[in-house]
Structure 1
């Protein structure tokens, strides 16, 4: 059995002048080396080779389809559009790879990839036929088909389908996580809507302090004459102004008047602020 050497450290006691401390000691150990996983090595090599062949197919198809489209449009636009033919089925293969644990979800990108590949192969064949080289057009189209078939085999080997019960469990977990993710956006939308409603209500409110209280004259207003006659609902600011116009200048008396005619919960600080601004 093959082994490899590895460095390790451990704490050991070390005494100097009668005082012992735990210090690090370095040592080496021989660890067994597992046998080479040839299956993984071969699969990795096949996957890498398939990726290289995809690049070859893309170059060939882009050159052929780009030259075909360049007959009716400018070359940059033609070759840019030509890339889309192969890119479509390559992207479908990527989505199929992401769904390798769920055959039901992988079916749609697989069939869409086949359809996109067929369109690309027809375009390559049409280019050869219009150029008077039908055989080359057919062979060039087959290149993309071979690469796609190879990738289908590789993806099928990588795929790990789940049994029915485990698949149902995964679907339920995915649905639950998807619901939680959807609620994040929904809660954000509801919060934004409630904020807009609150802002609209605040903008339409005449005065948040408006809460009239018809309590009659104030016996402690500091004057023998009755308080001003009430003619309608008042705000705190209006009540303060009326009290000043009526000769009431004491902050306490003004506050009592505000409590009677405007807002029973008005604060002394609010009244004082209006008094200073008067």
Structure 2
């Protein structure tokens, strides 16, 4: 039986000068070696082979179509454009892999990939025809087809097909989560729009519509609870700024900072700090 050496660690007591502490002890031991996973080795080889095929196809197609396009345009531009032919079906296969658990959406990527492959093979064949080497063009066109076939086989090796009921369960869970994800940008857009509306209303001096939807349920000055600051004119809560609330309290004859703070907090509906109120009061005293 084959074995392999591994390092094992454990805590052991160690005493120095009568003081014992737990320290880490390391030892090398022999354990049975697991059998070689040939399936994983073959799977890795298939994947590596598919990558090599796709890389070779991309290089060949770019060189062939680039040489064809270079007859009518700059070589740098021609070869850059030639990359798009194989890159298109390679990208479609990447999308197909990402959507492997969503067959309905993956079908569109699969169909687009085959069409892109056909266009790429036709362009390589056209290059051979123009060069007077139609056999070379036909054989060269098969390079992209072989590369896509190899990559398709690699995807089948890694795929995990779902039965119909499990697929329905996955679709239901995905739809619920996708709905929540879709609401994130929607909420962000609505909040951004509401902020613009509020800013426009403040700039034009139009009262903001932040009250209750039921007009009869809104508080009136008569319904406000009585407080020691009965000489202060009622201020509509949540619709004024801190500066406006301080100014209203000042105009009502209130000079005590603590009383002004209570009035401002009631008017704005916010936990306004004392420092902000004091700053506005100092400005009013200077201008008085």
TM-score scaled by length of structure 2: 0.70
Which consecutive residues of structure 2, in runs of 5 or more, have no partner in the other structure? 209-220, 222-243, 255-262, 268-276
Q: Deviations over 1:207-255 (max 9, x none)?
A: 99xxxx9xxxxxxxxxxxxxxxxxxxxxxx9xx9xxxxxxxxxxx9973
Q: Deviations over 1:171-226 (max 9, x none)?
A: 12222222222221111112112211221221122899xxxx9xxxxxxxxxxxxx
Please say if residues 129 and 137 of structure 1, whose CA atoms lie closer than 8 Å, have aligned partners that are also in contact: yes
Aligned to 1:124: 124
Aligned to 2:62: 62
The alignment yields a C-alpha RMSD, in angstroms, of: 3.2
Please say if residues 53 and 146 of structure 2, whose CA atoms lie closer than 8 Å, have aligned partners that are also in contact: no
Q: Distance in 2 between matches of 1:179 and 1:103?
A: 19
Q: What SS is found at the alignment partner of 1:71?
A: coil
Aligned residue runs from structure 1 range 19-168, under 5 A: 19-168=19-168
Change (3 A) 1:254 1:40: closer
Q: Distance in 1 between matches of 2:109 and 2:130?
A: 31
Please say if residues 99 and 105 of structure 2, whose CA atoms lie closer than 8 Å, have aligned partners that are also in contact: yes
> Are 1:255 and 2:258 an aligned pair?
no
Change (3 A) 1:132 1:205: same
Q: Deviations over 1:84-138 (max 9, x none)?
A: 0000011111112222333333222111111001001111111111111111111
Q: What SS is found at the alignment partner of 2:152?
A: helix
Aligned residue runs from structure 1 range 167-186, under 5 A: 167-186=167-186
The number of equivalent residue pairs is 231
Q: Distance in 1 between matches of 2:16 and 2:83?
A: 75
Please say if residues 201 and 207 of structure 2, whose CA atoms lie closer than 8 Å, have aligned partners that are also in contact: no
Q: Deviations over 1:50-108 (max 9, x none)?
A: 21111111111111111111222221111111110000011111112222333333222
1:271 offset after TM fit, Å? 8.8
Q: What SS is found at the alignment partner of 2:160?
A: coil
Please say if residues 69 and 78 of structure 2, whose CA atoms lie closer than 8 Å, have aligned partners that are also in contact: yes
Q: What SS is found at the alignment partner of 1:165?
A: helix
> Are 1:200 and 2:200 an aligned pair?
yes
1:272 offset after TM fit, Å? 8.4
TM-score scaled by length of structure 1: 0.73
Give every structure 1 segment of 4 or more consecutive aligned residues whose post-TM-superposition deviation is greater than 6 Å: 265-272
Q: Distance in 2 between matches of 1:167 and 1:161?
A: 9
Aligned to 1:277: 287
1:275 offset after TM fit, Å? 6.3
Which consecutive residues of structure 1, in runs of 5 or more, have no partner in the other structure? 214-236, 241-251, 257-264
Please say if residues 103 and 161 of structure 1, whose CA atoms lie closer than 8 Å, have aligned partners that are also in contact: no
Q: Distance in 2 between matches of 1:16 and 1:96?
A: 64
Change (3 A) 1:276 1:66: same
1:277 offset after TM fit, Å? 2.0
Q: Distance in 1 between matches of 2:102 and 2:251?
A: 79
Q: Deviations over 1:4-50 (max 9, x none)?
A: 22222222234455554433332233222211111110111121112
